[in-house]
């Protein structure tokens, strides 16, 4: 059961999401009696979290003092993917003050990868983007024990099992750290600042190298018993389907996702099915999902068919999940969201046809609005929740 929210959390998150407000506005909006609010504000000023910034515009009568987040607040938001590393430094209102991305291989292990994260953070500090961090939020591409701040049996993160990610970063940077699964983090970002604002029951689906999902109910992430809820990449689509890297057959990821799409595109190029893909394969030696997207845009029917087939498989799984959880919105994100309308329309057609009519009567299925930034936005949000005193469930 969730604890009632504290006054400081309510004040700080309101300032984060609305910008500066007068004391009078805070008191009104949060329905907190004036004397109580003033006492709490004094404590928040002393803690370096808010600043009282002179008189607000008059509402008639005595002018109320304007309150804002301390402009020196800094969060680090880290989004680790299978093959990428994205970092943003934000202010207390989650506005980015610096951003950095590079390729990274999660399989090089926690010491190397987290060492690189810290190196980048120190460099951003040296460049003047922060003097100290108030909190760090980090998303990892695998199941996470949210309570312990460690990855748990993550399939693609070799050497990371139960590695103390939270404690390592906290020690190195002297601030609180929150660790979560990357898809949960993207879902959080999308609900806070993207297309899913105020959605009650959100199903976020990430289609990248692999496929995962994140659920949010009234803004709270649903993690399940072991923290692995939403891990839909190895749901069986066909019992006699192709072999998956996990050892089972017919998993969703064996049909679709960046890896499966590159494999199928290469086969289509070699078999002569797609001249456009064959040209690219000859030029570059390898094919990626981006090649398929570009060839599809150029009208290559084999590429369009690959995307359509993949969307069909994703749609089959989502149709089941929609009947089960009855979400209010589905958002598609991740690297392959770039496959665009062909993918989206195929997913829609299967879900709308196969799920319970009552569950699809009012169910938007849309592309992520934040795109590749969803992860860092969500990680910054988590960092702010930790710093502002919420206890995420």
Q: Looking at 83, 101, 236, 297, which residue binds a copy of itself (CB under 8 A)?
A: 236
Q: Which of 156, 150, 149, 290 is nearest to 211 (CA)?
A: 156
* Rounded-to-integer distance, Cα 392 and Cα 147, Å: 10
Query: What is the DSSP code (8-state) at residue 286?
Result: -
Query: 99 or 229: whose CB is closer to a copy of itself?
Result: 229
Q: Looking at 226, 271, 275, 301, which residue binds a copy of itself (CB under 8 A)?
A: 226
CB of 340 to a copy of itself, least distance (A): 25
Interaction of residue 222 with a copy of itself, rule CB under 8 A: yes
Task: Identify residues 265-324 at the interface with a copy of itself (CB under 8 A).
Answer: 316-317, 319-321, 323-324
Q: Is 306 in contact with 264 (CB distance < 8 Å)? A: yes
| CA distances for 126 relative to 117, 129, 132, 168, 177, angstroms | 14, 7, 11, 21, 21
* Rounded-to-integer distance, Cα 116 and Cα 110, Å: 10
Query: 148 or 172: whose CB is closer to a copy of itself?
Result: 148
* Rounded-to-integer distance, Cα 175 and Cα 1, Å: 27
**Part in contact with a copy of itself (CB under 8 A); list of ranges 66-74, 165-173, 281-289, 352-360:** 352-360
**Part in contact with a copy of itself (CB under 8 A); list of ranges 66-74, 102-110, 225-233, 370-378:** 225-233
Q: Looking at 107, 116, 217, 263, which residue binds a copy of itself (CB under 8 A)?
A: 217
Task: Identify residues 115-154 at the interface with a copy of itself (CB under 8 A).
Answer: 143, 152-153
| Contact pattern for a copy of itself over residues 174 through 203, marking x by CB under 8 A | --------------------------xx--
Query: What is the DSSP code (8-state) at residue 251?
Result: B
Give the helix, strand, coil percentages of the chain, each rounded to 5: 45, 20, 35
* Rounded-to-integer distance, Cα 252 and Cα 196, Å: 25
* Rounded-to-integer distance, Cα 214 and Cα 140, Å: 13
- Cα 133 to its chain centre, rounded Å, is 21
Q: Looking at 63, 116, 263, 354, which residue binds a copy of itself (CB under 8 A)?
A: 354
CB of 149 to a copy of itself, least distance (A): 17
Q: Is 257 in contact with 207 (CB distance < 8 Å)? A: yes
Dihedrals φ, ψ of 242, to 5°? -65, 155
Q: Is 155 in contact with 161 (CB distance < 8 Å)? A: no
| Contact pattern for a copy of itself over residues 4 through 43, marking x by CB under 8 A | x---------------------------------------
Task: Identify residues 244-263 at the interface with a copy of itself (CB under 8 A).
Answer: 248
Q: Looking at 229, 267, 344, 367, which residue binds a copy of itself (CB under 8 A)?
A: 229
Neighbours of 269 (CB within 10 A): 22
Task: Give me the residues that bind a copy of itself (CB under 8 A), please.
Answer: 1-2, 4, 143, 152-153, 200-201, 213, 217-219, 222-232, 234-236, 239, 248, 316-317, 319-321, 323-328, 354, 356-359, 361-363
């Amino acid at each position: 059961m969730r604890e009632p929210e504290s006054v400081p959390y309510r004040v700080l998150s309101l300032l984060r999401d609305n910008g500066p407000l007068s004391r009078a506005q805070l008191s009104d909006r949060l329905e907190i009696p004036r004397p109580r609010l003033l006492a709490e504000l004094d404590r928040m000023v002393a803690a370096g979290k808010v600043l009282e910034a002179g008189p607000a515009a008059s509402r008639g009568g005595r002018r109320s003092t304007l309150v804002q987040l301390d402009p020196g607040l800094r969060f680090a938001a880290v989004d680790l993917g299978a093959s990428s590393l994205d970092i943003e430094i934000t202010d207390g209102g989650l506005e980015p003050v610096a951003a950095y991305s590079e390729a990274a291989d999660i399989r090089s292990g926690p010491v190397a990868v987290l060492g690189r994260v810290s190196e980048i953070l120190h460099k951003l500090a040296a460049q003047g983007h922060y003097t100290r961090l108030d909190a760090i939020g980090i998303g990892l591409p695998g199941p996470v024990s949210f309570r312990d701040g460690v990855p748990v049996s993550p399939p693609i993160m070799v050497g990371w099992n139960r590695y103390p990610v939270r404690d390592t970063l906290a020690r190195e940077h002297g601030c609180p750290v929150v660790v979560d699964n990357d898809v949960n983090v993207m879902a959080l970002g999308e609900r806070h600042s993207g297309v899913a604002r105020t959605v009650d029951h959100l199903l976020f689906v990430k289609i990248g190298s692999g496929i995962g999902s994140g659920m949010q109910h009234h803004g709270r992430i649903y993690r399940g018993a072991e923290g692995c809820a939403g891990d839909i990449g190895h749901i069986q689509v066909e019992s006699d389907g192709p072999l998956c890297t996990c050892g089972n057959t017919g998993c969703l990821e064996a049909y679709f996702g960046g890896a499966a799409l590159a494999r199928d595109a290469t086969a289509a190029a070699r078999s002569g099915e797609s001249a456009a893909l064959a040209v690219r394969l000859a030029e570059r030696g390898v094919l990626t999902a981006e090649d398929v997207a570009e060839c599809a845009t150029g009208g290559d029917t084999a590429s369009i068919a690959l995307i359509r087939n993949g969307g069909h498989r994703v749609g089959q799984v989502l149709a089941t999940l929609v009947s089960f959880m009855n979400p209010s919105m589905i958002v598609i994100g991740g690297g392959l969201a770039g496959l665009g309308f062909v993918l989206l329309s195929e997913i829609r057609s299967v879900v709308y046809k196969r799920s319970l009519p009552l569950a699809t009567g009012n169910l938007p299925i849309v592309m992520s609005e934040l795109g590749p930034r969803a992860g860092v936005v969500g990680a910054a949000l988590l960092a702010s929740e930790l710093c502002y005193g919420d206890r995420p469930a």
